Amino acid sequence: MTTLTLGFAFIGLLVLLVLAGMQIAYALLGVAFVGIWVIRDNLGLAFRMLELTAYSGIADYLFATIPLFVLMGLLVSVSNVGRDTFEVAEELLRRLICGLGVATVAANTVFAAVTGVSIASAAVFTRVAVPEMKRHGYRAAFAAGTVAGSSVLGMLIPPSLLLIIYGVLAEVSIGGMFIAGIVPGLMLAGGFVAMLMTVTVLFPRFVLTDPKASRERRADRTTKRMPLGTMVAKLVPIVVLVVLVLGGLYTGYFTPTEAGGVGAFGALVVALARRSLDRRKLWQVMKQTGVISVSILLLLIAASFYSRMLSIAGLPNAIADLVAQSGFGPYGFLLLYTIIILLMGMILDSTSILLIMVPIAAPIALGMGFDLSHFGIVTVLAVEIGLLTPPFGLSVFTVHSTLDDPDVSIEQVFSATMPFIGVMLLVLILVALFPITATLFL
């Protein structure tokens, strides 16, 4: 067998191992180790490359962004900042058509700017937004679907862990990836708002249990309003964090690592000021930060080792030659790549897809003239759709398990997220066809 054939065989083996239930990090390490050993027929070389990868794979100062942003997100979640953000958005937007749905999207957009994790957003707003939407006459399944659908903003609006992982795998600037995510993230949030209002007008019974009563409730002006001072007090913490982290990052005053440190410190101050962080919660936050960060860093070491195996097999160059000879052209390749990711999203989680696909596809995309920041936004958008598509749908399962409502089935939540998937596909097409949406501020 040629080295190229062996390379393809090992990719197939990797996918089979992941589908069989093996953790992605161990699957990547095992397949890469055996691959280097078999391709070069040198067990000692495989051990040496594993040693070098483990030592140098995450030694860079840049990798400190991961635990710092994770810590910031967990501290923000503990501080009930998400609840306060939703309450202010509800107050300002409730008189709009589908006002609470729009408020959920708005709150998720702001919350995403300081957490970077879709699952955190899904868990927080399921507890906060769904009961309030049900109380105002929204169908429980629609409320749950709105939270699940809008939670994906956490992985596109910077700072985002997926953008960090992509930046590391593709060897592009993480700060640049954050900047590239601004316009597509706002496009996605705006698309969700327009879709919610349109669906409510055209299909009111899909959204509301009693459309007439909901209209009357929305028009009721006797409801007690939240004082302006209270709104400001609730918004100050998250606004300060957004300005500290994103403002410092985009002006060039902070590096991504420094922005993560400042954000984590700011989130700690907020948590302490609100007295929401006792000794037990602090220990839980620190432990969760360690578990999540070590898991991600181990994945990056494994992905780096896997990438070296692919290079030894000559796979990226061979696939690039095959694509060039097929006559697909750059956008034909992008279409095929996106379809593969969408299909993989039905059976694999977001991180696994990035770890498997980016080491192969990024060199090919660069050779075909794509800006890797633009290519990364397309990749993350396609990967994020997988958080909502059955049978995996991690965000949907997170919302359903947090909801704890026996009257709402997982199938109903998946059905309610379909309009969000439609918006995401539209934004994906627009970003793919118009690179300036990702490169405008670069």
Q: How far does CA 153 lie from the centroid of its chain? A: 7
Amino acid at 348: L
Measured CA distances, 314 to 24, 332, 370, 436 (Å): 22, 22, 21, 32
Can you tell me the distance from the alpha carbon of 55 to that of 301, in angstroms, rounded to the nearest whole number? 9
**pLDDT (tens digit per residue) in 116-137:** 667 777 877 888 888 888 888 8
According to DSSP, the residues that pair with 138 across neighbouring strands are 208
Judged by phi (left if over 0) then psi (alpha if -120 to 50, else beta), residue 393 lies in left
The token duo for 120 is: 């955190």
| CB distance 76 to 115 below 8 Å | yes
Can you tell me the distance from the alpha carbon of 430 to that of 432, in angstroms, rounded to the nearest whole number? 5
Can you tell me the distance from the alpha carbon of 427 to that of 184, in angstroms, rounded to the nearest whole number? 7
Question: Hey, what's the torsion of the CAs at 228, 137, 407, 131, to 10 degrees?
Answer: 10
Measured CA distances, 255 to 167, 226, 432 (Å): 14, 38, 28
Question: Hey, what's the torsion of the CAs at 181, 183, 188, 190, to 10 degrees?
Answer: 150
Measured CA distances, 264 to 218, 274, 419 (Å): 39, 15, 35
According to DSSP, the residues that pair with 208 across neighbouring strands are 138
The token duo for 249 is: 């990052």
Instruction: Read off the pTM.
Output: 0.86
> pLDDT tens, position by position, for the chain (442 residues)?
567 677 788 888 888 887 787 888 888 899 999 999 988 889 999 999 988 888 776 777 777 888 888 888 888 878 888 788 888 888 888 778 888 899 999 988 888 777 766 777 787 788 888 888 888 888 989 999 999 899 888 888 888 888 999 998 998 998 899 999 999 999 999 999 999 999 999 998 888 887 765 565 555 555 667 788 888 888 888 888 888 888 887 787 888 888 889 988 998 998 898 888 888 989 998 998 888 888 888 888 888 888 888 888 887 777 777 777 777 788 999 999 999 898 888 777 788 889 888 988 998 899 889 999 999 999 999 998 887 887 767 788 878 888 767 788 888 888 999 999 999 999 999 999 999 999 988 7
Measured CA distances, 16 to 141, 256, 304 (Å): 34, 36, 20
| CB distance 435 to 371 below 8 Å | yes
| CB distance 389 to 351 below 8 Å | no
Burial track 131-167 (b if 16+ CB lie within 10 A, e otherwise):
ebbbebbbbbbbbbbbbbbbbbbbbbbbbbbbbbbbb
